[in-house]
Structure 1
Amino acid sequence: MIWLHQSALYLHIAVGIVALIIFWVPALSKKGSVNHKRVGRIFALIMYTVGWSGVLMASLDLWRPLTMHPAADVTTPESQVAISAGIRSTATFLLSLSILVLTATRHGWLVIRGKEDRRILRKPSQVALCLALLAAGLTLLVVGARGGNTLLLIFGALETWLAIGYLRYSFKADLAHPKEWWIEHLGALIVGGISAYTAFFVVGAASLLEPLLQSGSFAGLGIVFWVAPGVIGGFAIARLSRKYRLRFTAKPG
Structure 2
Amino acid sequence: MTIEQALSGFALPHALIGTVALATFWTAAMAKKGSPLHKAVGRIYLLAMIGVVLTAVPLTLAFTLQGQWVGAAFLGYLIVLVSHACRMAWLAVRYKRDFARYTGIGFRISAAVLAATGTAVVVLGVVHNAWLLIIFGLLGPLGGLDARALIRKGPSGPKWWLKEHYGAMIGNGVATHIAFMQIGLMRLFPELGSTVIQHLAWFGPLAVGIGAGFWLDRRYIRPRATPPRPAT
TM-score (norm 2): 0.87
- What corresponds to 2:114 in structure 1? 133
Question: Which of residues 24, 27, 34 is equivalent to 2:26?
Answer: 24
Contact preservation (8 Å) 1:110, 1:120: no
Distance in 2 (CA, whole Å) between partners of 1:47 and 1:20 is 9
Please tell me the root mean square deviation across aligned C-alpha atoms, in Å: 2.3
**In the alignment, which residue of structure 1 is the partner of 2:203?**
227
Q: CA deviation at 1:126?
A: 3.6
Say whether 1:243 aligns with 2:223.
Answer: no
For the pair 1:191 / 2:171, whether they are aligned, the reply is yes
Q: Any idea what the Cα deviations from partners look like across 1:82-108, whole Å, max 9, x if unmatched?
A: xx2xx2211211221121111111111
What fraction of aligned residue pairs are identical, expressed as a percent? 31
- How does 1:1-253 map onto structure 2 within 5 Å? 1-2=3-4, 4-62=6-64, 64-65=65-66, 84=67, 87-169=68-150, 171-214=151-194, 219-247=195-223
How far apart in 2 are the matches of 1:238 and 1:59?
37
SS in 1 for 2:10: helix
Q: For 1:59 and 1:135, locate their aligned partners in 2 and report how far apart those are by CA, in whole Å.
A: 20
Shift of the alpha carbon at 1:224?
Answer: 1.7
Change (3 A) 1:55 1:132: farther
Query: Which residue identity lines up with residue 10 of structure 1 in the other structure?
Result: L
Worse-matched range after superposition: 121-130 or 34-43: 121-130
Q: Which moved more, 1:204-213 or 1:153-162?
A: 204-213
Deviation by residue 1:49-90 (Cα, 9 ceiling, x = unmatched): 11222133213422x12xxxxxxxxxxxxxxxxxx2xx2211
Say if 2:8 and 2:58, in contact at 8 Å, map to a contact too: no
- The 8 Å contact of residues 107 and 166 in structure 1, kept in 2 or not, is answered as no
- List alignment gaps of at least 5 residues for structure 1: 66-83
Distance 1:176 1:143, change over 3 A: same
Are residues 178 and 252 of structure 1, via their aligned partners in 2, closer, same or farther at CA, if it must alter by over 3 Å? farther
Contact kept in structure 2, 1:59 and 1:95, CA below 8 Å: no
- 1:183 deviation in Å? 1.6
Task: Name the amino acid aligned to 2:184.
Answer: G
Between the aligned partners of 1:252 and 1:38, the Cα distance in structure 2 is: 37
Change (3 A) 1:172 1:112: farther
Indicate if the aligned counterparts of 1:131 and 1:163 stay in contact, CA closer than 8 A.
Answer: yes
Residue identity opposite 1:202 in structure 2: Q
Q: Please, what TM-score do these two structures have when normalized by structure 1?
A: 0.80
Q: Which one-letter code corresponds to 1:211 in the other structure?
A: E
Q: Could you give the per-residue CA deviations for residues 224-243 of structure 1, whole angstroms, max 9, x where no partner exists? A: 21221111111111111122
Distance (whole Å) between structure 2 residues aligned to residue 94 and residue 159 of structure 1: 13
Deviation of the 1:220 alpha carbon: 4.4
